[in-house]
Amino acid sequence: MGKASTVFITGTGRSGTNVTKAIFAQNSQCATLPFEYRFTVDPGGVIDFLNQYSSSWSPFMADKRLRDFENFLLSLGQKNDYDFAASQWLKKVDPRADKITPYAYSGWEIGEWFPGYKNHVKALMNQLVDYKYTASWPGSDSLSESNQMYFAPPMTKNELIPLLSEFLDNCFQSFLDKSKKEVFVEDNTWSLLYAHDLLKLVPKGKILHIIRDPRDVISSLLKQRWAPSDLDQILNWYLSLMDTWKNEKVKLKKDQFREIKLENIISNTKEVIQNTCSFIGLEFETEMIQLDLSKANSGRYKTELSSEEIYKVEDTLSEILLEYNY
């Protein structure tokens, strides 16, 4: 397969993906972003569109899905100044501001990172949309004047994949060209849930699934604003993620993914990173093992969870703990 064009570092969340990306950011051949760009795996993004559009079709569904997809991609391209100003004002005047969700994708501005991003979106939509026409249906945008509807015929996943693949390649390559690098290393947390589709779209990509002691993961997830704070709920949540990954990885070839334990990265850094570089097709560089990994919080669950909670976690996740030798 040769050198990977893209490395998808992924996990359940709080598993060590940021640390792993930081290590590969030290390699002179790798380009990384300081955030998760998200348009591949988030609701309304590339994978979502691929599966939704190909699963059912009508002229109205085509119109809505195409326009929603375009709007989502463009909304990530640059800051919405009105929404940004409104959210900043709200923080100053509303005592409940810390409990109010900020405007969607605040601070993304993907166009600043992927040169020509809006043009890449435009080129993709030109390929997807056969034509536009003035009409409306009951679900058309409210109060729109001379509403434009989008039309495209039914398309299978196999028909959509080359178009979406070209879009991703254009975006990623523009970032690599700008960075003067060869391999794009990213860390969208939940890429593991869509691994098979993702590697269809990026055939020269490889997946690194970062595993961490599930007890530490649960302890950390309980404190995240984007996850449940109830133990029973977060255990169900985590199991759903791992079950989905289990179903995904059986569809992959062995040379497409690696599972790496965070604890091994910390305790045996050089050997693990050398082996991972070989898997990716990268030259190992000593700068990659100069990072301070002492703050990885291994064993945090022992002080953050009660003995009763630890028992429940270990009982519920016994199969995963056994599978990954924890």
Indicate which CATH number applies to the domain containing 276.
3.40.50.300
Strands (E), 96-224: 131-134, 148-151, 183-186, 205-211
Residue 125 in domain: no
Residue 48 in domain: no
What burial class does residue 290 get, using C-beta atoms within 10 Å of its C-beta: 0-12 exposed, 13-18 middle, 19+ buried? exposed
| pLDDT interval class at 67 (50, 70, 90) | very high
> In angstroms, rounded to a whole number, what is the distance separating the alpha carbons of residues 45 and 68?
9
Q: Is the pLDDT of residue 37 over 70?
A: yes
Q: How many CB atoms lie within 10 A of CB 48?
A: 19
| Domain boundaries, position 252 | 1-29+182-326
Residue 297 in domain: yes
Residue with tokens 């000593």: 286
312-315's contacts with Cβ under 8 Å and 24+ in sequence apart are: 312/231, 312/235, 313/214, 313/215, 313/218, 313/231, 313/235, 314/215
- The model's pLDDT over 198-217, given as tens digits with 9 standing for 90+, comes to 999 999 999 999 999 999 99
pLDDT attached to residue 99: 73
Number of domains in the chain: 1
Residue 193 in domain: yes
Element (H, E) at 121: helix 117-128
Q: Is the pLDDT of residue 91 over 80?
A: no
Residue 259 in domain: yes
The two most distant CA atoms of the chain are separated, in Å, by 64
Residue 305 in domain: yes
| pLDDT interval class at 167 (50, 70, 90) | very high
Residue 157 in domain: no
Q: Return the minimum-mean-pLDDT range out of 45-59, 81-95, 229-243, 290-304.
A: 81-95
* CA 81, chain centre distance (Å): 25
Residue 106 in domain: no
CA-CA-CA-CA torsion sign (196, 202, 205, 208): negative
